[in-house]
């Protein structure tokens, strides 16, 4: 852990925090404007709040990392990897949090009895399934289809929620380095066309995240959408709730990967073929704002 004083890197982190807070302010401004718009989209409002929460959580994480004595909200400090058990959807204690490089957690529901969450923009290959202690449903393990051909390290875990079998908890690990449009790629969903306003705002939001990701690592681009074999047959009523990764693992957590996945979720749910919305689950984390429930 590096010190802030007399350290250029620490100053850079503070500058990053300031710039992110400015971006949060801008997002809040967009949210306020959108709330008063006649064609206000609840989906977009939720997307904006998701990003606001992610950015604030991340900034607080920086502060907590460099100023251990600084007061922080319980949601940000206790929502570190070691605090995941506070979330009701994780009823069991995780054994490998210390080494896991979490990128994002998403709660997805697929209506109509789908066997899994909807298309998340990537193709996955299932490589394992495990019964989890204390969980009613097994956890499925997926890795990117292009792992062998392109060495893509991305993996995800999908587990049906205990409380609501229609909900799936998806945890993404690693970043996609593959190009889904290649030989193994699939269809590319069209861009949002039913709500141009929302589309433009999502694009601006996406652009902001891309710039932001430049601070965190080399892979700052938004993942293109592709096909996913998971529950590809039924996407009706899909809901997703991006959950920003807790701030406790900043020293090794790939920040850009988190944002990339969140943006991927944003773009995935904005596909016009899916009737979907972002959803802040009040039980998903005790610090998640609950403005739109």
Partner DNA sequence: TCCATTTGACCTTT
Partner DNA sequence: AAAGGTCAAATGGA
Residues lying near DNA in the complex (CB under 7 A) are found at: 92, 94-100, 124-135, 139-141, 143, 145, 155, 157, 173, 184, 229
- Pair 106, 172: CB distance under 8 Å: yes
Residue 141 CB, nearest distance to DNA (Å)?
5
Residues 164-177 as b/e (b if ≥16 CB within 10 A, e otherwise) read: eebbbbbbbbbbbe
DSSP type of residue 104 = E
Closer residue to DNA (CB): 129 or 273: 129
Residue 235 CB, nearest distance to DNA (Å)?
16
Closer residue to DNA (CB): 55 or 110: 110
- Pair 79, 248: CB distance under 8 Å: yes
Residue 132 CB, nearest distance to DNA (Å)?
4
Measured CA angle at 49 (ends 45, 50), to 5 deg: 115
Closer residue to DNA (CB): 208 or 226: 226
Closer residue to DNA (CB): 112 or 128: 128
Closer residue to DNA (CB): 230 or 288: 230
Residue 168 CB, nearest distance to DNA (Å)?
14
Closer residue to DNA (CB): 140 or 259: 140
What does the block give as tokens for 250? 């900043």
Q: What gap in Å lies between CA 215 and CA 45, rounded to an integer?
A: 26
Picking from 173, 52, 176, 177, the residue whose alpha carbon sits closest to that of residue 103 is 173
Per DSSP, the three-state class of 250 is coil
Q: What gap in Å lies between CA 283 and CA 230, rounded to an integer?
A: 25
Residue 114 CB, nearest distance to DNA (Å)?
14
Closer residue to DNA (CB): 157 or 203: 157
What does the block give as tokens for 53? 């929460």
Q: What gap in Å lies between CA 217 and CA 266, rounded to an integer?
A: 20
Residue 232 CB, nearest distance to DNA (Å)?
9
Name 109's Cβ contacts closer than 8 Å, sequence gap at least 6.
117, 164, 166, 167, 168, 237, 238, 239, 240, 279
Residue 184 CB, nearest distance to DNA (Å)?
6
């Amino acid at each position: 852990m590096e010190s802030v004083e007399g350290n250029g890197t620490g100053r850079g982190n503070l500058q990053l925090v300031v710039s992110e807070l400015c971006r949060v302010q801008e997002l809040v401004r967009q949210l306020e404007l959108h709330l008063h718009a006649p064609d206000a989209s609840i989906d977009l409002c939720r997307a904006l709040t998701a990003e606001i929460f992610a950015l604030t959580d991340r900034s607080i994480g920086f502060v907590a990392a460099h100023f251990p004595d600084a007061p922080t909200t319980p949601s940000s400090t206790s929502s570190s990897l070691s605090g995941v058990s506070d979330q009701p959807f994780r009823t069991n204690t995780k054994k490998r949090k210390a080494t896991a490089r979490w990128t994002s957690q998403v709660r997805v529901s697929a209506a109509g009895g789908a066997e899994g969450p909807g298309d998340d923009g990537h193709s996955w290959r299932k490589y394992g399934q495990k019964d989890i202690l204390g969980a009613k449903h097994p956890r499925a393990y997926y890795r990117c289809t292009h792992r062998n051909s392109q060495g893509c390290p991305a993996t995800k875990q999908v587990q049906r929620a205990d409380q609501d079998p229609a909900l799936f908890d998806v945890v993404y690990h690693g970043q996609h380095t593959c190009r889904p449009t290649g030989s193994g790629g699939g269809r590319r969903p069209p861009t949002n066309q039913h709500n141009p306003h929302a589309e433009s705002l999502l694009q601006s939001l996406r652009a902001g995240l891309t710039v932001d990701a430049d601070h965190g690592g080399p892979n700052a681009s938004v993942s293109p959408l592709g096909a996913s074999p998971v529950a590809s047959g039924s996407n009706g009523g899909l809901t997703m709730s991006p959950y920003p990764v807790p701030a406790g693992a900043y020293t090794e957590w790939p920040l850009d990967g988190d944002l990339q996945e969140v943006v991927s979720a944003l773009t995935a749910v904005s596909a016009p073929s899916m009737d979907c919305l972002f959803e802040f689950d009040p039980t998903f984390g005790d610090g998640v704002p609950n403005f739109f429930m």
